Structure 1
Amino acid sequence: MKMKKRLLAYIALLGALVFSQCRQLDLEPKGIMGEPELFGTEYGVKMYFTGLYNWLPIEDFQYYANDGYRKNDWATEKNSQGAMSGEYFNTWISVDNDGFGYWPYDRIREVNNFIQSFPNYKDKFPDETFNKLLGEAHFLRAYFYFGMAKRYGGVPIVTEVQDPLAGPEVLNVSRNTEYDTWKFIHDDLQFAIDNMSDDTKETGRANKYVAAALMSRAMLYAGSVAKYTESLGFKATELATQQGLAGMEPSQANEFFEYAVAAGKLIETGPFSLYNKHADKATNFASLFLDASSPETIFVKEYNRNSPRGNALQHNYDALMSPAPDMSSFVGAESFVPLDFMELYDMPAYTNPDGTPVRFDSRGDIRDGMEPRALGTMYLDGDELRGKTFSIQRGIYRTFDGVATDIQRGVNSAPINSNGNRILGGKGWTTEINGVTYTITGAHGNFEDQGGENNAFGSAFIRKYINPDMPTADVRDWRSDQSWVVFRLGEVYLNTAEALYELGRREEAFDYIEKIRERAGAKVVRPAIDMTMTNIGSINKANYTYSLEKSLQFIRDERQRELYAENHWWWDIRRWRTADQILNNFRQRLLSCYYVADEGKYIYLDEDNRFNRQWNASKSCYYEPIPWGEIGKNNNLLPQNPLY
């Protein structure tokens, strides 16, 4: 659309924009800036971009798994992506296969408007500044397309501002192939990398390294899609796959893996390093998400509790991840760590070789020998937060003279659990055994008289991203403002390692794994290369539809150890095309602690979650449906994605 006498109205509050619709006016109204003011100065461009940054598809604290970005809802952590995908155990009850209709062509139009019109103001900028700003626009457009490509595969590539009055032959664009869509994202990001500066001083704004970080993530995703989608069998029956709209050829995978490696290598030339500020590796790992000066951080989404914009720049993470009233003054913890994910780390044995439970002198002894990175990711019994000590216990056994499997996954009907031998209770309940009064559960769970809110299911709370310096009285809804780390060097190392391994460069791949594991405090920092083929995954012992080398499975597991609770896992198991196998009647296991009264010892037992809740992802999850409302307006978006 030509912007003569057409203005983009907006309101700017502390540098943040809220855009109104494009209006056609005859006069220049006071207080509203037009195209010359926005595109003719660096400050105006920055303000124009600020509104676009606010809408980037970043799955952060405010991402609501079945309702989208920037969800202004106090219950976002209850409905987070980690909860939806089974990474957390909480009150969520099913996998969301359908998505929520993400279709950001209004934002893409704003970017295209800038790219199309900005050259008219080239004489107002030094060449370096002009190129930098144009590169930034390409980065923003690539990010919006990435948000769609990982959901839908091929989507319409629109690079010009369309005239809304044009006919359907112009407006009813068709989808491009999935290959072309990912290649378009690559080209936009390469333009951004080639033109943006390496200045990293402006927090929350992209530079060439941020563009490279997105390239690293997006191209690894594309390579995986190309390599593994064939295993789903869509091509035999699905028109979208046959036409290249949903899926790529395996022969195209290495192109994208090479792009991912190149992006990672570029980032290594920048001023970044793994965070190693603290000698204690658990404290170090937890701190890297809170330290604004971390040299590992490449890009963050900032929050500010003092912002006047209502709840838009605050979140609820501390209030909904910490137990009340000891560590939260709101409803309390909503999400807990399943054993399925805990046991990916180095953990102490809680079952002896003969099958009997290991006896511990205190509940907190479970921490001894656990990988420091795990302790930086989760709080266990005996850890402290805001002046209080975590106390997490499921119940009491009068005596336990059998093997761990005698509990039959924790059912009440198991002989060892019946006839009053296993005692469960509600909050604060006590019981008397041989004249001694015992509190049945811990101060923070597991309570039988309460549901999923504020009730430790299992033996761990989330530590990653928790701000320990907040006073408990201040831990309420909309009071947290720690930034979300969008890109960090740790993820880039993992992206590079996986892409290298997929390219057959195994030893080089494990150079990056070694760096990650050394920082983590892992017992073995460089595992031996194991090229034995397997189709058995680690979580839920899923049977994949294809085989891969055990060392590649190790790299996948290393991603989960390093990136737990950072909203990567769902996208990883989607791009690997393993979600429908991993989340196939997936019943999360919980590690439960019991006091054995006649011994004065504690044991930890592997139990099914008490609600027998299960997660199921179908094959339809790999491609969300093109929004039906958009198809209703534009029939050229057909054929629909597989299985819809």
Structure 2
Amino acid sequence: MGLAAALCGTSCSDVIDLNPGDRFSPATVWSSTTTVDSYVLGLYSIFSSSCEFYGTGSPNLTDAYSDILKSGSWDQYNHSYNRSLFQESAFNSTSAGAFECWSTHYERIRRENEFLRDAPKYREKFGEKWMDTRIAEVRFCRAYAYYLLCRVYGGVILRTEVDGPEQNDKARSTEADCWDFIIEELKDLAPQLPQGNKTENGDNWDDANYGRATQQAAYGLLSRVALFAERWDVAAQAARDVEKCGGALDLTGYANVFNGDLKSNKEILFGVDFEQDVITHRYDAYVRPSGDAKALGTSALYSVFFPTSELADSYEMADGTPFSWETHGSDPYTGREPRFYATILYNGASWMGRTIESYVGGADGFKEYENSKSANTTVTGYYLRKYLKDGDKSWITAYSAQTCILIRYAEVLLNKAEALAELSWEQNSVEALQALNDVRGRVGLPSRQTASKEEFMEFVRHERMVELAGEGFRYWDLRRWRLAEEVINGKNVHGVKITKTDSGFNYEHVDADNGNKRIFYDRYYHFAIPESERSKNPLCDNNQGWV
């Protein structure tokens, strides 16, 4: 069974029922390597169901909760993005609102703990190395579940065994203890996994098992988690370990990282390899420019997510000088660095055999954001380009199947740069600058130089915003840096209203929130523990600020 097939759960599996843990027969699970693997691969569904692409309708692009992506869809009272940004009622003392994930992940953790309880008994039957690899995979899935929980709630309940009714009442561990648990798990399990999918040497998965957890993935996740924990030494060493395991940048071009082929790209350390007719998503339908509907003859296009001026204006010129409207405003989209063109569709861009017209009255249009309507057309003057395939029409009838990248080497390098600077700028500045400049050098930008840690951290934050845009990092980075109040609260995002004239175009800078001030309070750094948990577990307290 391929990984993509396993991810879609029961409907795609003729081996065992993968949902949920109390509805399968242990005798069946442990009867053969095939059934054990089916169960293990079923646990990988955490990656597809929590990734940025996947959802019952619209993809879950969390950058739209930040300053770099704007949702133009539906009204601010019912649509999760704008409601979360504009309405205090979006979050309350009983729920984390759009980020609620407690019960879902604890159900997964219970199933993982059941496997980890029983697996050691079958080492002799299936072989110690074979079983140890599966145990490491399941621990990796569990570590990822705890990572997702901790970034929303802070300290959570660490359940590492199969608890019975008498163990239901359990207090939350501190946030620091939770991060430490995840860190120690990843450090311990990583050596038990195959080294990688694309390395020339080492113990690797075969083609039939492409996409399963590897040392590259475990160390990559470790480098990320350690930043949340402010364990700078751990993050830096984990990044070095990724490199030792064969992690590398794709030097054929930034845009090629997102061509959708997991197997051909050595930069992708871990991702969800969606597959048409097996497990799909609807990224194209909610991201493509609105003019594609008429051009391709489809009504299945909603155009919801739009890059903001805050993002578009942050991309440098190709020579590394900052972009500014004062200097470059007469021709704003010429001579920008490669990541701008790989990430953003702008007025005048070549696309699907036509030219993007994101001006008022153009084929791709422009509408001012309204509280009570769905725009289905850009409200910022821009569309998202990243992950879309120029010329592709298969998504119209078969939905989308691009790989959703969860961990890639460029992120790991930026994790390393940040960690080294925070650990000791005086001792690590050369190595930190090298990691940052490796990312910039891939797109032909000049190296950064500075003697100041403060300036370097500004460089890192800028680089993470433009390098990782649209991949689900920005909102969580702002929370991790404790900058979300400064960047989001009381602010608006902006766009460009473009009007065609006889001689060219006029560019008017507009408020893309229609005057609504965004909300991010201090208590949002840790959302409320669900009432459903606290009502049945008296030892579980709520986070501060949620009464």
Give the TM-score normalised by structure 1: 0.72
> SS in structure 2 opposite 1:136?
helix
- Counterpart in 2 of 1:68? none
For 1:350 and 1:503, the matched residues in 2 are separated by 34
446 and 58 in structure 1: CA distance in 2 versus 1, 3 angstrom threshold: same
1:640 lines up with 2:543 in the alignment: yes
User: In the alignment, what sits opposite 1:145?
Assistant: 146
AA at the equivalent of 2:509? D
- What secondary structure, in the 3-state scheme, does the structure 2 residue paired with 1:637 have? coil
User: Partner letter of residue 134 of structure 2?
Assistant: L
1:198 to 195, 199, 204: 195
Give the match's secondary structure for 2:182.
helix
Q: Which one of the candidate residues 499, 503, 506 is aligned to 2:423?
A: 503
Amino acid at match of 2:82: I
**In the TM superposition, what whole-angstrom CA distance separates every residue of 1:73-103 from its partner, at most 9, and x where no partner exists?**
x2x24x6322233432223424255344322
Establish whether residue 122 from structure 1 lines up as the match of residue 43 from structure 2.
no
Cα separation, 1, equivalents of 2:470 and 2:374:
19
* Distance (whole Å) between structure 2 residues aligned to residue 453 and residue 14 of structure 1: 43
2:42 to 22, 47, 51: 51
Q: Quick check: 1:275 aligned with 2:250?
A: yes
Aligned-pair CA distance for 1:476: 3.2
Correspondence list, 1:23-422, <5 A: 34-39=25-30, 41-56=32-47, 59-63=50-54, 71-72=55-56, 74=57, 76-77=58-59, 80-89=61-70, 90-91=72-73, 92-94=81-83, 95=85, 97=91, 98-99=96-97, 100-103=99-102, 104-164=105-165, 166=166, 170-200=167-197, 201=205, 202-223=209-230, 256-278=231-253, 283-284=255-256, 286-287=258-259, 289-290=260-261, 292-307=263-278, 313-322=279-288, 323=290, 324-326=293-295, 329=298, 330-347=300-317, 351-352=325-326, 358-359=329-330, 365-394=331-360
Q: 2:527 aligns with which of 624, 628, 640?
A: 624
CA shift in 2, pair 1:343/1:301, >3 Å:
same
AA paired with 1:150? R
User: Which residue does 1:445 correspond to in 2?
Assistant: 365
The change in CA–CA distance for 1:530 and 1:388 in structure 2 (over 3 A counts) is same
How far apart, in 2, do the equivalents of 1:614 and 1:464 lie?
Answer: 28
In the superposition, relative to structure 1, how do residues 642 and 42 fare at CA in structure 2: closer, same or farther (>3 Å)?
farther
- CA deviations on 1:201-241 (whole Å, 9 max, x unpaired) are 43221022211111111111111xxxxxxxxxxxxxxxxxx
1:481 to 394, 401, 407: 401
The one-letter amino acid of 1:559's match is R
Which structure has the larger Rg?
A: 1
Counterpart-to-counterpart distance in 2, 1:449 and 1:162: 49
Distance 1:327 1:392 in 2: 17
**Shift, 1:367, TM fit:** 2.3
Q: 2: CA distance between counterparts of 1:610 and 1:490?
A: 32
Kindly tell me: are residues 146 and 610 of structure 1, through their superposed partners in 2, closer, same or farther at Cα, counting changes over 3 Å? closer
Instruction: Please name the residue that 2:464 is paired with.
Output: 559
Displacement after TM superposition at 1:633 (Å)? 0.3
Does the CA contact (< 8 Å) of 2:158 and 2:172 recur in 1?
Answer: yes
Structure-1 separation of matches of 2:15 and 2:462:
41
Deviations 1:361-392 (A, max 9, x none): xxxx4321111111111112222222221012
Unaligned runs of 5+ in 2: 1-8, 74-80, 198-204
2:391 is the alignment partner of 1:465: no
SS at match of 1:267: helix
What is the alpha-carbon distance in structure 2 between the residues aligned to residue 148 and residue 449 of structure 1?
33
Query: Equivalents in 2 of 1:613, 1:469: separation in Å?
Result: 37
Q: Distance in 1 between matches of 2:131 and 2:62?
A: 38
Q: Distance in 1 between matches of 2:49 and 2:451?
A: 35
- State the distance in 2 between where 1:55 and 1:17 align: 16
State the superposition RMSD in angstroms. Answer: 2.7
How far off is 1:199 after superposition? 4.4
* Partner SS for 1:19: coil
Q: Whose helix fraction is larger, Structure 1's or Structure 2's?
A: 2
Matched, 1:592 2:491: no
TM-score, scaled to structure 2: 0.84
Deviation at 1:303, TM superposition (A): 1.5
Separation in 2, partners of 1:517, 1:327: 36
**1-side partners of 2:404 and 2:531: how far apart?**
32
Segment of structure 1 superposing worse, 477-486 or 90-99:
90-99
**Residue 435 of structure 2 corresponds to residue 512 of structure 1:** yes
Moved more, 613-622 or 490-499: 613-622
Distance 1:217 1:328 in 2: 43
* Structure 1 pair 621–19 and aligned structure 2 pair: CA distance change class (3 A): same
Report how far residue 58 of structure 1 moved.
6.2
- Within 1, Cα distance between the matches of 2:499 and 2:11? 57
Q: Cα 1:379–1:530, aligned 2, differ >3 Å: closer, same or farther?
A: farther
Contact 2:16 2:39 in 1 (8 A): no
Aligned length: 496
Contact 1:132 1:196 in 2 (8 A): yes
CA 1:448/1:219 → structure 2, altered by over 3 Å: closer, same or farther? Answer: closer
Contact 2:210–2:263 under 8 Å retained in 1: no
Secondary structure at the aligned position of 2:396 is classed as: coil
For 2:509, the equivalent position in structure 1 comes to 606
Q: Which moved more, 1:557-566 or 1:101-110?
A: 101-110
* Deviation, structure 1 residue 60: 2.4
Query: Given that residues 157 and 176 in structure 1 are in contact (C-alpha distance below 8 angstroms), is that contact kept between their aligned partners in structure 2?
Result: yes
- Stretches of structure 1 lacking an aligned partner (at least 5 in a row): 1-8, 24-31, 64-70, 224-255, 308-312, 360-364, 395-440, 533-548
Report the 3-state secondary structure (helix = DSSP H, G, I; strand = E; otherwise coil) of the residue aligned with 1:492: helix
Task: Give the direction of change, closer, same or farther, for the CA distance of 1:148–1:448 in structure 2 (3 Å limit).
Answer: closer
- Structure 1: distance between partners of 2:369 and 2:218: 50
* Deviation sequence 1:35-85 (CA, Å, 0-9, x none): 24423533222111122111248642445xxxxxxx32x2x24x6322233
Mark the CA change 1:586 to 1:373 in structure 2 (over 3 Å): closer, same or farther: same
